[in-house]
Amino acid sequence: MYQLEETYYFYLLAIIPVLVIGFLFLSSWRNKTQIKYISSDLLKVLSPNISTFKPKIKLFFLILFIIFSTISLVNPKIGTELKTVKREGVDLVFAVDVSKSMLAEDIAPNRLEKAKRIVSEIINKLNNDRVGVIAYAASALPILPITDDYSTAKTFLQSLTTDMLSSQGTAVLESINLAKEFYDDENQTNRVLCILSDGEDHQIENQNITEIVKNSGITIITIGLGSTKGSPIPLKENDIVKSYKKDQKGDVVITKLNVDLLKNIANSSNGIYIDGGTTELVVQAIIERLKEMDKKEFESKQFVAYKDQFQWFLGFAILFLSLELIVFEKKTYWVKKLNLFNE
């Protein structure tokens, strides 16, 4: 098995026919000129040490130098070696709120688009960590299981909309319970759930948040999206606001950021709450927190790789160049005595 890394260097071999043609042309011109002005017998008397064979030897060495230099530049990889790769990181699941309240535009362009932008930027900063995606409203829906394929994660992330779940609401605990099923090992200490929401969960009021979150065994980071002042929920057609969502009484619904709920969830799990207003600050805070956590070796791979062999060809190229430089066009005395080439 072999592999050629930089094959475009093979174009350098086009120099060889140019050299050969040039050599033949020069030899022909030299012979014609010689015959025109001097006979062969007289030339041997005047220049007895001139060799007719050594220029061909020099050309041969030069061609070999070009061939081996070209192959070394192509960098052939021959043979194999076994490598073991140990990967350590954190399993990070993103739970994105896709309830209608996330369409509020008190944070540009709206809360949901801001959430997707934050998650995408966090993924860009990760190295060996694995990620998963959950969407939730009144219920939770698994979007992408734990994976190290970041490009796929971002593709699934962009598919999130407020229409993907018919039942509306904000059931935070549903996302926490679903996240438990994402992790491989219940005993691992690097299980992180990142909840991106406005925190408007009216179903959680009569439940013991602290106990439920503690028993999950997951470190939860909550990111608050929206403003405490609140904002109406626009109803659009072709990106044009036609009206605003109203309640049963006909009043415009004002959705507000519930900071207290999100902080309570984070604190109960030894996590942190982050305001989602500035993307760069959110990403920096999460990456710093992940660096502080214990890393677990969750994957170890062995694979076969090609070994670079360019150095051998480079060595031969230097050898043939040296031979070309030390071989002179004059006859060698001891070779002349042997008369190997009938000169």
Look up the pTM and report it: 0.62
- pLDDT value, residue 28: 85
Helices (H) and strands (E) in the chain, counts: 11, 13
Return the pLDDT at 313: 86
Instruction: Look at strands 191-197 and 91-97 and give their pairing.
Output: parallel
Task: Give, in order, the Cα–Cα distances in Å from 266 to each of 219, 223, 284, 286, 314.
Answer: 8, 9, 17, 13, 60
Q: What is the mean pLDDT for each group of 10 consecutive residues in the chain (343 residues)?
A: 80 90 86 73 61 79 91 80 70 92 91 95 90 89 90 93 75 83 69 90 61 79 93 86 85 91 89 93 93 69 68 88 76 52 50
Measured in degrees and rounded to the nearest 5, phi and psi for residue 104 equal: -60, 145
Burial class (CB in 10 A: 0-12, 13-18, 19+), 157: buried
Domain ranges for the chain: 2-81+306-338, 91-294
Structure tokens at 213: 């979150």
pLDDT at 168: 63
pLDDT at site 334: 46
Tokens of 49: 């040490």
In CATH terms, the superfamily for domain 91-294 is von Willebrand factor, type A domain (3.40.50.410)
Token pair listed for 188:
């691992």
Q: At what angle do helices 310-326 and 54-74 cross, to 10 degrees?
A: 160
